[in-house]
Structure 1
């Protein structure tokens, strides 16, 4: 690790409490921390200098929900609906993934994150059928020089079953020991709304192990208000609980999330394309619920947060305009601004993970830093509104430098230590395994999978329980779900 680094002369988005922007400033890193931010900083002898002039220096971005194990199937489900995703992974083929396939997908996804300036990624790893799969997932994450959180999950078994396995508890004892702050852990499972609340046992394990819970909430056809109510009424809703999507919920659920201090991970590309529900950004803002951004899975979409910021602004604004037009009105000032989504992509993620040492460029904070600069691109100038530039103009190819924990992991637009040939071989082996296991005809048909006989998947995609509830796809009552009058 380079002992000290200075990024000179860039436009610096500090993302501090005041959202201070320095038009021309330096960021000095010493060890794994930001030492100072300011103009013409004096630096220690031998400091590595990076020319940031004409570029934007910002905190590393944070993705709070990505199914990294699915990345070896990049783009395979481009035309899927959410129901088809459930059919493929939950009902039919997710169980065919071996530990080495989890490893291959995680390595590919981890490098993809770093290339796009995402310095922290939550691996929402719900394909961990065995502890061997979990060890493979962690081995992959630790082989890449980024910051990661393993959210341990298993869609092939009930959360009350797999969390009770002594081998799972042993896994956490082994892998948390000496892991350092580059690797964190969560438990990842969903709550169906079954009034018996069988998920209680999993929440109790999470509490016993001191692990936060992340859960897919308010997902059309899967989870609903009943699940939020059960979590809250049984005392398991906390400030470290992350509710992913939270798109098809009532005002009551948003109030419960807000009252307990939980946060929502919005995956806008996923919600608006797959159909979890209309992205709930205006509802969570209305209830002052903290927001982070996530990309969900590369089996559909890209793995960068530039796309997340862009689509989030587009979805929120299109809803605002349409609602106004329905009333014969016109929106004359936008509610959601570029500055807000840049905050969600950085500070929002840090808050969700309980990492107040991440998400901003301030003295003493961890040195997770991104430089957006591309002197060869006509899109790199003029730089007039830096928040707007990040949210609407920049893309992964404009990420010049990425620093994680004081270590340069991408420089001059190229990843450091990335072995594309080796990663490709592992991913190709996974694809070959899946195709041969499924058969070529089934593999090709899987890009547009037919629904199974019956309609259980519409009431409950979780094959580990027979509980069904029509409330997961009941009529929403209005175009955009339950909203308060005037919103």
Structure 2
């Protein structure tokens, strides 16, 4: 029998060491970039950004810099704030792509009812490690890990260990999809974990609570909200998910006084006008995962509603079990979904859209400053502003015909660029990717850890279940009778021909 090959058996490209000139400690300047500041400075053409230590020291043109400053030629590129993902189930990256053809019900079937319990602490570590590196590679410098696979504190420790093994900025949103938040969220184990791993101030790693409100009239989630308030933790919750969380969930939060500006509502895609009014009135924000919402069925991406109600928006990718894991895809999907909805609504009135409401600049803002605000980090990151942390992304690719001419920098970022065009990534003043390659030795470690997780799932599930998970049954499609049946299609020809 032929042995099945795993990633550990394949030759891999060597990890790239950090060049001497990029070792943290020396000032660094990006020269001649198109700078998207995402603040009052707007776009700076042929601009420079000087970084000293972990902060942005200055922005402008032809900046004077200290002696010994490292210079990165950014001409022809776009320099922007590091992108921020406000909702990513990072541990699931270990099973990348397995659910490409799933519905939301099939996701629940796999993760909640049948196979979610198979994630061991080492699998959480493997998925988080790979996801963290993948985020950095795509220019996502801050990620909220919506970690609802933490069955035990050991799982949680593994999640944090992986995040701290990579040089990104992260927020662990602690959750347990196989347990009740009013139980795990109020127990001594969670409190001790929070004190042990988050007791000292650290702006590279934050903590939130992640749980959903089931609309049970008894509102058992009240105890979890009380714990979050007592511990001064923000809460992120899947809201407006068709068939799972609804307007009653929002109403219960409102009636018990737990709708505040510290809440992030993920998806919010199938809510009533009244629920949007409540979110807007209390200062909450919504994390939109457009690829997820359009594919899984939580509801239609709600940006058209959020715009009308003035609700702050951030962007997220949800899960690599299904979709891409970069915010270029998120920006493109969000903008396309919003405009498609506007066009369809206009066509239903026998009208046409003359001006697009949502602009490329808006979604770039949502992917950066919008995420920072949702995570409570906007004083720290999210814009290219002197005094803020140096979380920066240079989009530049001289080998790509799609990267010139650079005429509309926001539109170029959303519709033309991709993760392969990310030239340099800096987090907290440290270069973590340069000349299109991640620096350091993390990738090979992640590859080996994830290969072992895949083997664990495939062996434990068995080949039949493994294949069924990858290839869910296709529903029968009832064909519509064709009134033009007098013609037949010749599959080998590009012509129609009359039936004889």
Q: CA offsets per residue over residues 243-292 of structure 1, 9 Å max, x none?
A: 00000000010000001100000000000011000000010110000000
Most deviating of 418-427 and 24-33:
418-427
Report the Cα distance in structure 1 between the residues aligned to 2:418 and 2:75, rounded to whole angstroms.
18
Counterparts in 2 of 1:5-24, with a 5 A limit?
5-16=28-39, 18=40, 20-24=42-46
RMSD of aligned Cα (Å): 1.1
The alignment partner of 1:331 has SS state of: coil
CA distance in 2, matches of 1:128, 1:363: 38
What runs of 5+ residues in structure 1 fail to find an aligned partner? 452-487
Compute the TM-score of the two structures, normalised by the length of structure 2. Answer: 0.89
Q: CA shift at 1:354, angstroms?
A: 1.1
Match of 1:263 in 2: 285
CA distances 1:15-40 after superposition (whole Å, capped 9, x unpaired)? 00x36101111000111110110000
Q: How does 1:438-453 map to 2 (within 5 A)?
A: 438-449=461-472
> Which has the larger displacement, 415-424 or 318-327?
415-424
Unpaired runs of 5+ in structure 2?
Answer: 1-23, 475-500
Distance in 1, matches of 2:366 and 2:180, equals 32
**What CA distance in whole angstroms lies between the structure 2 residues aligned with 1:412 and 1:30?**
21
Displacement of 1:3: 3.1
- Distance in 2 (CA, whole Å) between partners of 1:10 and 1:421 is 32
Q: Report the counterpart of residue 476 of structure 1 in structure 2.
A: none
Q: CA offsets per residue over residues 368-387 of structure 1, 9 Å max, x none?
A: 00000001111110000000
Query: Is the partner of 1:446 in helix, strand or coil?
Result: helix
1:393 corresponds to: 416
Matched with 1:103 is 125
- Of 107, 118, 139, 1:85 maps to 107
1:448, distance to aligned residue in structure 2 (A):
4.1
**How many angstroms apart in 1 are the aligned matches of 2:238 and 2:130?**
24
Residues 130, 443 of structure 2: 8 Å contact kept: no
CA displacement at 1:232 relative to structure 2: 1.4
* CA contact 1:84–1:448 (8 Å) conserved in 2: no
Which residue of the other structure, out of 377, 382, 389, is the alignment partner of 1:359?
382
TM-score normalised over the length of structure 1: 0.91
Match of 2:404 in 1: 381
- Give yes or no for the alignment of 1:407 onto 2:407: no
Residue 104 of structure 1 contacts residue 427 of structure 1 at CA under 8 Å; is this kept in 2?
A: yes
SS in 2 for 1:348: helix
Give CA-to-partner distance per residue, 1:123-148, whole Å, 9 cap, x none.
Answer: 00000000000000000000000000
| Equivalent residue for 1:293, pick from 315, 318, 324 | 315
Q: Shift of residue 9 of structure 1?
A: 0.5
Match of 1:320 among 323, 326, 342: 342
Aligned residues: 450
Q: Which moved more, 1:126-135 or 1:439-448?
A: 439-448
Instruction: Indicate yes or no: 2:154 matched with 1:135.
Output: no
Question: What secondary structure does 1:119 align onto?
Answer: strand
Aligned mate of 2:371, from 343, 349, 368: 349
Structure 1 Cα separation of the partners of residues 112 and 228 of structure 2: 23
What is the CA deviation profile of residues 311-344 of structure 1, one whole-angstrom value per residue up to 9, with x for unaligned ones?
Answer: 1111111111111111100101001110000000
Aligned to 2:228: 206
4+ residue runs over 3 A deviation: 448-451
Bigger mean CA deviation after superposition, 101-110 or 432-441: 432-441
Alignment of 1:45-444 (within 5 A): 45-178=67-200, 180-355=202-377, 356-444=379-467
Q: Is the 8 A contact 1:88 1:449 kept in 2?
A: no
